[in-house]
Amino acid sequence: MEPEKENTERPPKRGRKRRQAPSQLGGAAEALRAGWEREERHPQVKKARLSTILFTENWEVTHEQLCGLLKYAVMGKSSVPKPSWCQLFHQNNLNNVVVFVLQGMSQLHFYKFYMEFGFLRKAFRHKFRLPSPSSDFLADIIGLQKKETTEDLSKLSTGSLPSASSKVSINLQDDPIIQKYGSKKVGIIKCLLTKEEMKTFHFPLQGFPDCENFVLTKCNGSVTDNSPLFGLDCEMCLTSKGRELTRIALVAEGGVCVLDELVKPDNKVLDYLTSFSGITKKSLEPVTTKLKDIQRKLKALLPPNAVLVGHSLDLDLKALKMIHPYVIDTSLLYVREQGRRFKLKFLAKAILGKDIQNPDRLGHDATEDARTALELARYFLKYGPKKVAELNLEALARHQGLHAADQGQSSPAGVQQHNASVLDCLHSMGQKLLLLTREVDTSELSSSRNCETVTCLSNKEVLEQARVEVPLFPFSVVQFSFEGFSPALAEEMNQRLRVKWSEISTVYAGPFSKTCNLRSLKRLFKSFGPVQSFSLVLETHQAQRPVTELTLDCDTLVNELEQDSENQGTIYLSGVSETFRERLLRQSSLFVGLEAVILPKDFKNRKQKKYGFLKFKTISSAQRALSIFTGRGWKLKGRNALTPRHLHTWLQSLPPESRTPPGLHIVPPPFEQQALQTLKVDHPKIAAWRWGRKIGKLYHCLCPGTLCLILLPGTKSSHGSLPGLGLMGIKNEEESIAPNKCS
């Protein structure tokens, strides 16, 4: 954004567009982004536009990633790194940035009162999940570092570990590492994955499907806490048969590399994945070593009691087509919340003080990665779980973002891109941030330099001030405050929401005779998507959903979900195989306007599921693609998507609830029943309806080209936490799909 000028009420026009930096991605992602780059260079496209391609598997955007987008919106690609989770085209044509924060609300609020949030769900195509907030949500998304965290991270930058005395006070008993391993030091045996864990995380095992031709190592000895450790890492390419090995590195204790070789794939290479593997066509041309040669060498090198150490080691063993029973996987050793995993790059910096996977180098160094995984295992064994837990890795990942690749780009006006806040970026452009908030809400942001803070007595006054002040500032944060759910009410609503979605996902069909073939029936239903349970009901004489108090609005809700702006242009496909992505890439010319390919993985074993979502730029492109996929060539089943991906992931992570038998009368839980009887003006349902409309009216008063974000931060207390939700769009970009102003 350009610096402010005196006596002007409208932001100045943008300057000349900068040339697009070359893409750093490879393979399928590069093919998708190539289309984006061409579009950004097209001279006729002038409006700023968003395209969200979330690379995080749980569809969650961290506060730090959100801050990265806001900084990029202010300064552009020549000054700060591009966001890794979305594309903002023609940033220099943005006029303003406005962030609405609905303090006290969460993702649960949005989907509990989905019908009431009419304007928001229809106007904003881009939605994403937010993690539960810290004590100062605004400071996090603006990038204001807490003092203690800054001290710790400055120590990390010099390669030393932060001391326990300098850490923010944390409850070690809640740390997932302590919950799994305890607080005392452990040996190798305790760190090994059990056979059940290897099965859960889809490691190759003897006697399992798809492992018939895998080679067993000669490791049949008795493993002890003194067994030798070997670091292993493999690089792969994409061939006509899937992923195949192109490089292997094996490192013994002490860091000595005992094997480092390039490998010639057996099948035709479609993509060398050079940006990740560092492998090129030229480097593989003289290579004669094949997979069977590597298998033979590994069997000879590994002693009977060897323990393999690696990061996401299941992928390496699959590439090797080998089975080894004794493994330590550092992505699982350093346990993270909610089944997520830390990246190797982050652990190397946070634990060992090492910088690996340098973006200036072509691809990863397999030897470096293998050695790093080995050092991480040794650190865990030497210092124990308590020492690791005291490092508070989750907080470091959230605040510093060491897990993201260092872009290494220069910044003007002395702005340091790693530690710069949105305020710093605005200051370097000669601009200020406007904060409108209630007096009762305190934040480090309100007292920060370069922030114009206007405090109000009520939400109504915040809204009135926003109409006057927001057009005068290039960057505004407007915060409304609402009464959060009590812990008991939140749990009840969570429970009812789970039951409701379970009921909506249930279908009764019939009539079936007692002699019908159950196996054929199951096969038929599974062809439409994964089936959680299957029961035979002989009394039903039609196909329908169950009818209970929770599903009375089912048809209306399904229709509204289909009309949700995020679902428009997105299709659901069932029957997707593991080679689907490669086949799609080969025939990409058939699918014009394809923005994203989303192939979910099982939450536990990480295996790709047999369904997926494809997101297109336009509804017509999506419909054309759907007709191709359901035709004779592909033979898939599909339809327009109903469930936004972040909601789908959230519901998948919740424990299943037992369904209510048909015809059973459901009485609202006591807390909600009491609240609904009073129907006070500030009841959450009324608040959702009223403030959704009010924000809609304010949104339509914003000038064209305004990047607008609606953030429901989520809640966190000693009783538990609720994740948040983000919605975003650019004024004018979204108006073609936005319905009435106050619907």
CB-based burial label for 338 (10 Å; 0-12, 13-18, 19+): exposed
- Are the CB atoms for 344 and 210 separated by under 8 Å? no
Phi/psi of residue 724, nearest 5 degrees: -95, -175
Task: Give the pLDDT confidence score for residue 9 in this predicted structure.
Answer: 42
How far is residue 347's CA from residue 345's CA, in Å, rounded to a whole number?
6
List, in sequence order, every residue forming a beta bridge with 454; answer none if it has no partner.
436
- Are the CB atoms for 536 and 527 separated by under 8 Å? no
- Are the CB atoms for 245 and 263 separated by under 8 Å? yes
Q: Angle, to 10 degrees, between the axis of helix 393-400 and the axis of helix 63-75?
A: 10
Each residue's pLDDT tens digit, 331-372: 999 988 767 788 898 899 889 888 887 766 666 788 999 999
Task: Give the pLDDT confidence score for residue 557 in this predicted structure.
Answer: 67
Task: Give the pLDDT confidence score for residue 379 in this predicted structure.
Answer: 94
Q: Looking at the domain covering 568-641, what would its CATH class be?
A: alpha beta
Task: Give the pLDDT confidence score for residue 399 in this predicted structure.
Answer: 58
How far is residue 229's CA from residue 220's CA, in Å, rounded to a whole number?
15
Each residue's pLDDT tens digit, 111-122: 778 778 878 878
Residues 6+ apart with CB under 8 A from 723: 60, 106, 107, 129, 130, 131, 132, 650, 714
How far is residue 419's CA from residue 397's CA, in Å, rounded to a whole number?
14
Pick the CATH number of 176-401 from 3.40.50.150, 3.30.420.10, 2.40.37.10, 3.30.390.30: 3.30.420.10
Where along the chain do its domains lie? 49-143+421-483+689-731, 176-401, 568-641
- Are the CB atoms for 638 and 629 separated by under 8 Å? yes
List, for the chain, all residue ranges whose pLDDT scores fall below the cut of 50.
1-29, 31-32, 36, 39-45, 55-57, 146-169, 401-417, 655, 657-669, 671-682, 734-743
| Fold (topology level) of 49-143+421-483+689-731 | Alkaline Phosphatase, subunit A (3.40.720)
What is this structure's pTM?
0.51
Task: Give the pLDDT confidence score for residue 692 in this predicted structure.
Answer: 84
Task: Give the pLDDT confidence score for residue 662 in this predicted structure.
Answer: 41
- Please state whether beta strands 706-712 and 96-103 pair in parallel, antiparallel, or not at all (unpaired): parallel
Task: Give the pLDDT confidence score for residue 232 in this predicted structure.
Answer: 96
Total count of residues recorded for the chain: 743
Task: Give the pLDDT confidence score for residue 590 in this predicted structure.
Answer: 87
DSSP 163: P
